[in-house]
Structure 1
């Protein structure tokens, strides 16, 4: 949905009061936060770009990859918008997935509703959960709502319906002051749980929609089945109190890019965690960690373009810091091109060069409760080194399970003195050998090298 100017716009607007503030005071709920389903505890997300996944670009063709993804070990399939795309004012020949023509329809480019139901059933049979992208902030320009209910949209002083901002010219802004529109939107979300048995939503531009709408929607959805909700947002923690389990760790992601380019050092990551408000994440909530996604790939660059030789180190980092990790379509195949957003531009699956690497990381997360999500996971503790500009060292600990992670986040070799404060013995997770540590130990690391140890 986004262009480069959108990305720049997002960082400006996300910190400002919006037209429909997501952090406005909510009157929707006064009960305790809903509990996340247990299947969220050790889950890993996988974002599915149906259009670009196969030559056919259909649900049925994607289903052929389910056994491979099962072997990879991912748990939740986040499928980018499945709805028909508006033709009026569309960008490119195929349009943006995020210009929704019909909230209860299926994009014929991908198949039929029956095809989608079959995909969900096959995924469930293999143990996956399935969430879909939901676009509540706006619709396409030929959505039936525009014709039947033009009063449901935001208008300018002349009475003309307007986009959320000029750059988003292919979409029309919804007016959340209109209660009938809110009810229709929640009914449409309920529809997908009842008719297709999906397991939740990733909510586009969640920051642009009032908090009380999301809380009303969550209450309705929870009455149908337990689910997972991911907000495209970072600056409105109130959304995590009752409506969503997760948001985006955008700031940390961009620090990673800066460190990989040499514009910042590992100290910036330490500062990020040290400065984070410990109450930012409501009980049971947690960030989504990522080194790429559909926006980053199409508009900011590939993993290789942004991170180069640092990519694997930051993948390890994203799987071991607090939060749920994300893998984007093609990431396990070393996807090294920016996929066109409004056209057909399929992924090359001829070399699954990163499949075993990500399988190792997923197996590591699943096998170690210290790395699980939210309250199910362990404490995160940064360790002091004499090379804080280059080295990031930390532990994750839950009951008897403790992991030690050490990363050289620079393009230079380093010998770093790390202050552990205790005497313990660890085994190397990826290689043969053990590590006995005392109050302080010297660790030698090559450029962008990472070490992960598990306490014996």
Structure 2
């Protein structure tokens, strides 16, 4: 794996070396964006793929690594499906569920899961299980109830139409008994292991009225502590009871920006559109990779190199929303990572990257109050410039999205601001212009 020197050791001290004077001008600020979500979001989600932790007893391996996960600023742990996987027509996908109430024996026991949840709670970390409500494996016992599944004109049970998922059978939400069994299975894990909620796979493939009913009944058990994450994009999922919904549209635009194929103004516009209709107290998920994306390309490939991957993560996370870290991302795993098979990570392979994530997320958590209020974005070429206004204070972020040094004018509204660099503690006055090295970023607090 290619190593890199840490941003903190090398890049940050170079700030004063890259300033130059010039005429100040308005840098073309974008319209203000009032943040509809709860100001000061402090959630950071970690997606744990058991198959990258250990080939056996993965739940215990995740539990053993909770300190490191917590040190990434994480307070929500999302476990990818831990249930028994189907064998008939299977392709080794964890999203092919044979038994909703039975653990994958390779991952560990029920007591192992209970222990993991209890240990996470002791560290202030909530735990979400991954729930697959749209379909089951072909050898799930439910298949004996033919009316529980979608059928073609000939009465044959079918896979979800148009998805290419031949390894699974599509469930019929017109059947009341199936719905009841699904909700009962969801309750089982909350009651038995004390998990805090679910990340719901392909949430838009399930009727809204089912989610409303299921979430209402789960809240009877968990109360307002229940946390629900929807893999979907439509704002209607919030009305169903979900707290966080994916930011589907931002990712392709982010990748286009880092590939030099789109302007930052297009990314800002996507962000604004995704937050339209988001109720107060709700959020969008912000990420640069996850199990699906990592299967196609690693963040290093998607964003050119390690520095590009880090710069993209800073930009996505500092816009607004809930940042997600996918297991393997924090050590900059350089190759595509299929979630269909085992690929155990060496968590000590890239301490520089791991430490940078820790430092960055420490700053992220500490600046929660500053990230509330109003977000303003500026047109500064290939350098993203974001300002979160919080009364007399504010959080100013600049990220170079290119693999070349960029000299840009500081937005006129920010020129002359006395700021503290939250990554190294230096206090300085913002000049009329500055130079950012390839993929360099700055996070300042206005004093």
Deviation sequence 1:235-256 (CA, Å, 0-9, x none): x211112421111112211112
- TM-score, with structure 1 as normaliser: 0.84
* Alignment match of 2:396 (pick from 393, 404, 409): 404
Paired position in structure 2 for 1:56: 56
2-side partners of 1:167 and 1:126: how far apart? 40
Paired position in structure 2 for 1:434: 427
Deviation sequence 1:79-129 (CA, Å, 0-9, x none): 0001100111111xxx11101111111111111112111111121122211
Paired position in structure 2 for 1:380: 375
Paired position in structure 2 for 1:341: 339
Give yes or no for the alignment of 1:116 onto 2:117: no
- Please say which of residues 80-89 and 334-343 is displaced more in the overlay: 334-343
SS in 2 for 1:419: coil
2-side partners of 1:412 and 1:139: how far apart? 48
SS in 2 for 1:102: strand
Paired position in structure 1 for 2:438: 447
* Alignment match of 2:175 (pick from 175, 178, 181): 178
1-side partners of 2:275 and 2:341: how far apart? 43
- Please say which of residues 194-203 and 252-261 is displaced more in the overlay: 252-261
SS in 2 for 1:104: strand
Paired position in structure 2 for 1:6: none
Paired position in structure 1 for 2:300: 304
Paired position in structure 2 for 1:156: 152
Shift of 1:215: 1.0
1-side partners of 2:436 and 2:315: how far apart? 16
Query: Contact (CA 8 Å) 1:162, 1:173: kept in 2 or not?
Result: yes
Paired position in structure 1 for 2:409: 417
2-side partners of 1:455 and 1:329: how far apart? 33
| Structure 2: tracts of 5 or more residues without a match | 1-36
SS in 1 for 2:89: coil
2-side partners of 1:63 and 1:139: how far apart? 28
* Alignment match of 1:145 (pick from 142, 148, 155): 142
Shift in alpha-carbon separation, 1:399–1:179, aligned structure 2, 3 A: farther
2-side partners of 1:308 and 1:268: how far apart? 20
Matches within 5 A, 1:219-298: 219-225=216-222, 226-234=225-233, 236-273=234-271, 276=273, 279-298=276-295
1-side partners of 2:300 and 2:324: how far apart? 17
Shift of 1:132: 0.6
SS in 2 for 1:158: coil
2-side partners of 1:42 and 1:189: how far apart? 26
Q: Which has the higher contact order (CA 8 A, sep 6+)?
A: 2
2-side partners of 1:50 and 1:297: how far apart? 15
Query: Contact (CA 8 Å) 1:320, 1:371: kept in 2 or not?
Result: no
Shift in alpha-carbon separation, 1:246–1:163, aligned structure 2, 3 A: same
2-side partners of 1:399 and 1:180: how far apart? 53
Paired position in structure 2 for 1:363: 362
2-side partners of 1:252 and 1:286: how far apart? 14
1-side partners of 2:347 and 2:385: how far apart? 35
* Alignment match of 1:198 (pick from 163, 174, 195): 195
2-side partners of 1:270 and 1:58: how far apart? 39
Paired position in structure 1 for 2:352: 353
- TM-score, with structure 2 as normaliser: 0.85
Query: Contact (CA 8 Å) 1:59, 1:115: kept in 2 or not?
Result: yes
Query: Contact (CA 8 Å) 1:415, 1:444: kept in 2 or not?
Result: yes
Shift of 1:455: 1.1
Say how many residue pairs are matched.
Answer: 404
Shift of 1:304: 0.8
SS in 2 for 1:354: helix
2-side partners of 1:312 and 1:278: how far apart? 24
SS in 2 for 1:213: helix
Paired position in structure 1 for 2:24: none
Matches within 5 A, 1:295-334: 295-298=292-295, 300-309=296-305, 310-334=308-332
Shift of 1:210: 0.8
RMSD: 2.1
SS in 2 for 1:132: strand
